[in-house]
A and B are shown apart, each in its own frame.
Chain A
Amino acid sequence: MREIQYRDALNEAFDEELARDENVVLMGEEVAQYNGAYKVTKGLWEKWGDKRVVDTPISEAGFIGMGIGASMLGVRPVMELMFWSFHSVAFDQLVNNAACCRYMSGGLINVPIVMRGPANGGTNVGATHSHTPEGLFAAFPGLKVCSPATPADAKGLMKTAIRDNDPVYVMENTTLYGIKGHVPDPADGDFTIPLGKADIKREGSDISLIAHGASVLRALEAAEILEKEHGISAEVVDLRSIRPLDQDAIIKSVKKTNKACLVDESKPFCGVSAQITTLIQEYAFDYLDAPIKRVCTIDAPAIYSPHVEPHQLPNAERIVKQVLTIA
């Protein structure tokens, strides 16, 4: 199997879907002639041209609403937010028009859009550029949300998201774009990963570390330390998909290990981990040997200082410390 970067895995996904379906259009700021602010769409404008890869002005509400309207006529826009943090200037389009038009029409309309971009902290870009709104959007019925942690997951989920006939919001990560991983060769066939399916990234028996996105890598780092230095066998469950959610995988893991520590880059209040906590206590209450613990981003706007931000985010050290409180 070949190893490619997360950004190149996404690039392959776009290229394959642009070839497969003439209705697919990439849209966003700098996606075309600039080759993408983070080079995720590199080379695609050159190959596919102005019609299929579209540079938009800095008008998130405008071009996102445009994409939603176009999707009602059968266009399938794959729209980029240069940072998911910019969701706030297009919030009405994202949670009213995308999420509710189907419902308010009694099912006459569907909105097959993909909204994608990096949702992460850890790059010292300050509070307004470091939001992780997956929990926020998963709270709106009508939307789907996923958060791939590896190149293969990124490619597989992106292709599925593009083919899905509902709005799918894909949370990428600038700190993951450069990470390499095994991705199946296109020559071996069409590779997709369904929404709603988690992945056990590391098997274990003593505690379930449940995470998504970059937090999966932090959890894996913590699992290594827990094994080597504390003899604790941690299972790492990568959610991959937030909504729909693979509840079965979560419950199966917790029933096996009897302990859970959730790792979530959101701030503590109402992040994805808060929702999972309530599901675990509801469906695996009698299997728990300890309270469910969480490691989230420390509860303040994202700090700039490079000396401190790595500590504000979930990291292996904080995960290990939290696990030891219930081990």
Chain B
Amino acid sequence: MSLPELKPAMETSASPLDFASSPINKSLSSEEKVEHYRQMERIRRFEQAALKNYQKDGTMGGFLHLYIGQESLAVGAASLMGEHDHMITAYRCHAHALAVGMDMNECMAELYGKATGCSKGKGGSMHFFAPDKNFWGGHGIVAGQTPLGLGLGYGLKYKGLEGSSLCFLGDGAVNQGAFHESLNIAALFGIPVVYIIENNGYSMGTSQKRSSAFKDCLAQRADGYDMDWDVVNGEDFYEVRAKVNIAMERARKESKPTILEINTYRYYGHSVADANHKVYRSPEEINKYKKDHDPINLWRQRLIQEGILTDEQANEIGKAAKQEAAEATKFAEESPAPTIESITDDVYWEVDNDTEASKIGRHFFND
């Protein structure tokens, strides 16, 4: 069955027919497709609210790395996760957190450094975690999480579980030594890890061309380790699901790793503190992506085309997401800060659990 032509105004490089017919996508119900739209909108609205809040005085400190423009990646991958699939990423982590099912309230409160935050205010923007949802953070050191993602895969294999470790990283992380060590071990040992490079074209302020030596793309480095790899068009939600699923199945069934390079774009800077993001990138480039390649708009158009979503319904979803983010802001504003006494909680498991071991010897050396 052929789909009607997309409206000319949304000319895009996505190929509308290829991946919708992949089994993993054909099996999606209309409700699920609309739900994925809703998840992407929720992330967008949360990030927009976070940005607005950040710019007010006395709300947040530290860094804020926004995911706006990249929503299809986190939601696409999370939508494929089963009981034994696990996810880990770097510091641009709010989207992954929400995609696996964390609350807007606890996430916004964490940004505000409140005790009701998902990390009790102890982590901040770069460190959202939800082990009960198979989400292992939220990490600040570029590529520092890539051996951890390897370890999650190792743990799955060790325990004989059929699952995969989805380890996200940016295009800037591919040059870190720890990533190369992880790739070697993943291929050598046969670890069920899927490395997902979220390639938004820039590592902080430096373009891919100025950072990386490569032939055709970054994922191709997998060839050096005799590892499977692929490149994905991130703005096509069906393609993200189809290709991530292939890699996850390779991990689950064969215990073999993959590198996926998913091309995407961030509308804002590396972080909100990045004052140069319209200097190292042209406003034309940014606007072109917003206009022609926005993954949420493209998915919206796709679902309207498929007759399962109307503009009105889409607007309602956006409105509800905006409202949810506003309520999360209120929750964060009204929540208490951590107590000073709580600074030394959550350092040692033994101490927090009041075990025999914790009662022997001095553990803290405060004056």
Chain A positions within 8 Å of B, measured between CB atoms, are 25, 51, 56-57, 59, 61-75, 92-93, 96-97, 101-110, 112, 141-142, 144, 160, 164-166, 194-197, 241, 243-247, 275
Shortest beta-carbon contacts, A-B, top 9: A196-B361, A69-B151, A65-B147, A62-B181, A244-B361, A73-B155, A106-B120, A107-B346, A69-B148
B178 within 8 A of A: yes
The answer for the CA separation of A92 and B176 in the assembled complex, in Å, is: 12
Q: Chain A residues with Cβ under 8 A from B352's Cβ?
A: 107
Pick from B130, B181, B345: contact of A107, CB under 8 Å = B345
Q: Is the CB of A105 within 8 A of B182?
A: no
Q: Is the CB of A74 within 8 A of B346?
A: no
Q: Chain A residues with Cβ under 8 A from B155's Cβ?
A: 69-75
9 extra A-B contacts, CB within 8 A, seeds A61-B177, A109-B129: A57-B181, A61-B181, A62-B150, A75-B159, A103-B123, A105-B129, A164-B357, A196-B362, A244-B361
Q: Show 13 A/B contacts (Cβ-Cβ < 8 Å), sorted by A.
A: A59-B181, A61-B178, A62-B184, A68-B151, A70-B151, A71-B155, A97-B139, A103-B347, A104-B123, A105-B131, A107-B352, A196-B363, A246-B362
Q: Chain A residues with Cβ under 8 A from B185's Cβ?
A: 56-57, 59, 62-63, 66
Give residues 310-367 of B contacting A (CB, 8 Å). Answer: 344-350, 352-353, 356-357, 360-365
Interface size class of B (residues with CB under 8 A): 35 or more
B119 within 8 A of A: yes
Chain A: CB-nearest residue to B156 = A73
Q: Is the CB of A102 within 8 A of B350?
A: no
Q: Is the CB of B141 within 8 A of A92?
A: yes
B146 within 8 A of A: yes
Q: Is the CB of B137 within 8 A of A195?
A: no
Chain B: CB-nearest residue to A112 = B349
Chain B: CB-nearest residue to A138 = B365
Known contacts A62-B182, A142-B347, A195-B357; is-contact A106 B147 (Cβ 8 Å): no
Tell me how far the C-beta of A59 lies from the nearest C-beta in chain B, rounded to whole angstroms: 4
Known contacts A75-B158, A275-B365; is-contact A61 B131 (Cβ 8 Å): no
Q: Is the CB of B350 within 8 A of A68?
A: no
Of B118, B154, B159, B363, chain A has the most CB atoms within 10 Å of the CB of: B154
Q: Is the CB of B131 within 8 A of A108?
A: yes
Tell me how far the C-beta of A70 lies from the nearest C-beta in chain B, rounded to whole angstroms: 4
B16 within 8 A of A: no
The answer for the CA separation of A92 and B177 in the assembled complex, in Å, is: 11
B122 within 8 A of A: yes
Tell me how far the C-beta of B118 lies from the nearest C-beta in chain A, rounded to whole angstroms: 7
B190 within 8 A of A: no
Tell me how far the C-beta of B304 lies from the nearest C-beta in chain A, rounded to whole angstroms: 40
Q: Chain A residues with Cβ under 8 A from B69's Cβ?
A: none
The answer for the CA separation of A63 and B180 in the assembled complex, in Å, is: 12
Q: Chain B residues with Cβ under 8 A from A165's Cβ?
A: 349-350, 353
The answer for the CA separation of A96 and B127 in the assembled complex, in Å, is: 12
Q: Chain A residues with Cβ under 8 A from B184's Cβ?
A: 57, 59, 62
Q: Chain A residues with Cβ under 8 A from B122's Cβ?
A: 103-106
Q: Is the CB of A70 within 8 A of B131?
A: no
Q: Chain B residues with Cβ under 8 A from A57's Cβ?
A: 181, 184-185, 188
Pick from B117, B144, B177, B347: contact of A141, CB under 8 Å = B347
Tell me how far the C-beta of A319 lies from the nearest C-beta in chain B, rounded to whole angstroms: 25
Q: Chain A residues with Cβ under 8 A from B356's Cβ?
A: 194
B149 within 8 A of A: yes
B136 within 8 A of A: yes
Q: Is the CB of B350 within 8 A of A65?
A: no
Tell me how far the C-beta of B101 lies from the nearest C-beta in chain A, rounded to whole angstroms: 15
Q: Is the CB of A195 within 8 A of B360?
A: yes
B262 within 8 A of A: no
The answer for the CA separation of A246 and B151 in the assembled complex, in Å, is: 34
Known contacts A51-B158, A110-B349; is-contact A67 B151 (Cβ 8 Å): yes
Q: Chain B residues with Cβ under 8 A from A59's Cβ?
A: 181, 184-185
Tell me how far the C-beta of A21 lies from the nearest C-beta in chain B, rounded to whole angstroms: 13
Q: Chain B residues with Cβ under 8 A from A104's Cβ?
A: 119, 122-123, 127, 129, 137-138
Q: Chain A residues with Cβ under 8 A from B86's Cβ?
A: 73
Q: Chain B residues with Cβ under 8 A from A103's Cβ?
A: 122-123, 346-347
B43 within 8 A of A: no
Chain B: CB-nearest residue to A107 = B346
Of B119, B127, B129, chain A has the most CB atoms within 10 Å of the CB of: B129
Q: Is the CB of A166 within 8 A of B131?
A: no
Of A69, A74, A141, chain B has the most CB atoms within 10 Å of the CB of: A69
Q: Chain B residues with Cβ under 8 A from A197's Cβ?
A: 360-361
